[in-house]
Amino acid sequence: MNKIEKLIEDLCPGGVSWGSIGEHIDYEQPTKYIVESTDYSDSSPTPVLTAGQTFILGHTDETLGIYEASPINPVIIFDDFTTAFKWVDFPFKVKSSAMKILTPSKKSDLSLRFLFHYMGVIGFSATEHARHWISIYSQMEIPIPPISIQQEIVIILDKFIELEAELEAELEAELEARSLQFRNYRDQYFEELSSGTTSSLGDQGDFIRGGGLEKKDLASNGFPAIHYGEIHMHYGTSATATKSFVDETLSNRLKKAQPGNLVITTTSENVEDVCTAVVWMGKGEVAVGGETYIYKHGLDPLYAGYFFQSHSFRSAIRPHITGTKVKRVSSAVMERVKVPTPSYEEQTNIGLQLKALDDLTSDTNAGIPPEITARRQQYEYYRNKLLTFKELKAS
């Protein structure tokens, strides 16, 4: 029998009492802690937070309206719309009022850190754009075991998080090292090939401009479609399935990419992401919209896709990028770019070699990323196991 089982047997053999989160937790609106200027600087001392995935949006030098959280007086910040949450034990400001700052009620025997771990078990998913804390989340029932049991569980789960963070840091460093190694290897490949036979991208194929597809047209089923914004955020080098779809009527009016074609963004907010390309490797056609070009070509598809990522291609288009806030590249610029053209068989071999290396850092089913996922799952397994309690029956 482990220590927690012994405590449960001694202190609450019949089960534990439950209560709503709102009975034990106070909340504060963050209005007076909202940052006035989003002109952030890495040299400024105070982080500006969101409860979402980004967490730290930047740093500000504003000195008024700082929430003085600390390791002795920590808080949980809770996104009122998405129900995302973060543990904070340092001074901060916030970006918007769309959150609650949670602290333990002085009359409660609920550990805030225990609640933090248990909120991961709740797993509530917001389905509509509305505030959730008062109407839904604070009303949820949670177990309130004796404080000594809470403290023991927190010690164990915090240790898991600590070990997970150390392992993830090591794995992330290895992942970044492999990513850098891959990028250097890819760029060196195309640099060396450029001393051989080359031709222009225009000689190898045609750039066809897409159009007529807006974000509001996207659906969860129908005819496969690729929106230019998804190329930046969702796709890697190649794709065999789409994230989004459009209805059949609209698809009939849209330009289509064939298997092996590249779908290329023509705009971005930064120079580095202009002309990001995804190789369409699906079984049939895919519809594309505005701010994209379809590149129909005679190159090996993966070879072409990796060439568009290479330093050779990026350095060729960089002097011709136009625009200030939105960066653009025309098809005429891309048509003039010289691409190494060894035999098709050699292109195929190069494409497959680069994909094998790429998968080690980007494929969630191979290489390092699954190991990182496994570490997170280990914590979640023990968290769920330790935070399962029998409810005390009313006498």
d(CA 166, CA 395): 47
**Given CA atoms 357, 362, 364, 370 in this order, what sign does their dihedral have?**
positive
Q: What is the pLDDT of residue 394?
A: 60
Q: Is residue 270 very low, low, confident or very high in pLDDT (cuts 50, 70, 90)?
A: confident
Would the CATH topology of 17-144 be identical to that of 197-341?
yes
d(CA 287, CA 139): 45
Tokens of 376: 């997170």
Mean of pLDDT values over 218-245: 92
The single residue listed with the structure tokens 């190991």 is: 371
Q: Is residue 274 very low, low, confident or very high in pLDDT (cuts 50, 70, 90)?
A: very high
d(CA 118, CA 233): 31
| Number of helices followed by number of strands (H, E) in the chain | 12, 22
The residues with which 205 forms a beta bridge, in sequence order, are 297
The pLDDT of residue 24 is above 50: yes
CA angle 186, 187, 188 (to 5 degrees): 95
17-144 maps to which CATH number?
A: 3.90.220.20
Tokens of 164: 């997970």
Q: What is the pLDDT of residue 364?
A: 52
d(CA 138, CA 24): 9
Mean of pLDDT values over 221-249: 92
The pLDDT of residue 199 is above 90: yes
Query: Distance of CA 252 to CAs 43, 239, 255, 312, Å?
Result: 53, 22, 8, 37
Q: Which of the residue ranges 11-15, 120-124, 328-332, 378-382 would you say has the lowest mean pLDDT?
A: 11-15
Per-residue pLDDT tens over the stretch 85-130: 999 999 999 998 889 999 999 889 999 999 999 999 997 777 677 7
Mean of pLDDT values over 369-385: 81
* CATH number among 2.40.110.10, 3.40.50.970, 3.90.220.20, 3.30.465.10, domain 197-341: 3.90.220.20
The DSSP annotation for 126-171 comes to: --SSS--TTTTGGG-EEEE--HHHHHHHHHHHHHHHHHHHHHHHHH
Q: What is the pLDDT of residue 48?
A: 96
The pLDDT of residue 395 is above 60: no
Q: What is the pLDDT of residue 365?
A: 56
Residues 6+ apart with CB under 8 A from 228: 210, 265, 266, 267, 288, 289, 290, 291, 292
Q: Domain residue spans in the chain?
A: 17-144, 197-341
Residues 6+ apart with CB under 8 A from 353: none
Q: Is residue 1 very low, low, confident or very high in pLDDT (cuts 50, 70, 90)?
A: very low
The pLDDT of residue 275 is above 90: yes
The single residue listed with the structure tokens 């009620």 is: 105
Average pLDDT score, the chain: 90
Per-residue pLDDT tens over the stretch 125-183: 776 777 889 989 999 999 999 999 999 999 989 998 888 888 778 877 887 888 889 99
